[in-house]
Amino acid sequence: MSAAPLISAFRQALSEAWANGAGAFLPASFFAGAAILVPFTMGSEMEVLSRIGPGVLWLSLALASFVTLERIFQADLQDGALDLWAQEATPISLIALTKTLAHWLISGLPLVLLTPVLGLMLAVPTEKTLPAMTAYGLGGLTFFLWGGVAAALSASIARGGLLIALLALPFYFPTLIFGALALQGGLTTTPGLLLIASTLFALGVAPLAMGAALRLATD
């Protein structure tokens, strides 16, 4: 096993995102757009917004992960990169994990960096910005891991976008629940620790499932 396929998968994921022209801006603008629609539909009273604001950000984060995940493995399947990775001595689950982390770095982290700005627009209280961003980051990573499993399972399906959302949805629930509760209490309370636990669980299990699903896609 060598680290070369991991590095190349990482670099390929980064360059692919920028090569398409939009890079980090597309998911970020989708995320912002989804969150900005809320004041128009829910009313713009400050007290309503500040109460639902954190929840709106969680929801937008989950939606943004669905939208960006469709192509994560599909492109590799079409251009044959997946077949080459399947022949490497490096476990394909590690390559899948690397790709997911790179993907999170490109289209997940910018969303997290955007949350304070959107939070300000949605009148979310600002005193706990940093713990909240950590929670969004952990939650987003968990979304991308489970969403990556769903994307890997439906990599060989032509229009798998809706299917990814349906498959990943059940696995998003715990993270969404603990994440929303952790924002109220902080990361060291029970919901915060459970959020971290759900991220760690996803880090352990999701790569194996992604590897099995990708081997299926290359057959």
By CB under 8 A, residue 200 contacts another protein:
no
**Going residue by residue from 102 to 141, which x/- string records binding to another protein, judged by CB under 8 A?**
----------------------------------------
Residue count, binding to another protein (CB under 8 A): 23
**Closer of 50 and 218 to another protein (Cβ):** 218
The closest alpha carbon to 119, from 165, 56, 163, 59, belongs to 56
Which range touches another protein (CB under 8 A), out of 7-15, 46-54, 85-93, 165-173? 165-173
Q: Rounded to an integer, what distance in angstroms lies between the CA atom of residue 173 and that of residue 188?
A: 20
Distances (CA, A) of 14 to 58, 68, 72, 206, 214: 25, 14, 11, 21, 20
Q: Tokens 């597309």 identify what position?
A: 26
Question: Which listed residue (166, 193, 197, 200) binds another protein by CB under 8 A?
Answer: 166
Question: Which listed residue (154, 182, 199, 207) binds another protein by CB under 8 A?
Answer: 154
Give me the least distance between CB of 207 and another protein, in Å please: 11
Residue 154 and residue 214 in contact, taking contact as beta carbons nearer than 8 Å: no
**Closer of 36 and 169 to another protein (Cβ):** 169
Which range touches another protein (CB under 8 A), out of 15-23, 38-46, 59-67, 211-219? 211-219
Question: Which listed residue (174, 186, 203, 218) binds another protein by CB under 8 A?
Answer: 174
Give me the least distance between CB of 19 and another protein, in Å please: 29
**Closer of 98 and 154 to another protein (Cβ):** 154
Q: Which residues bind another protein (CB under 8 A)?
A: 149, 153-154, 156-157, 160, 163, 166-167, 169-171, 173-174, 177, 201, 205-206, 209, 212-213, 216, 219
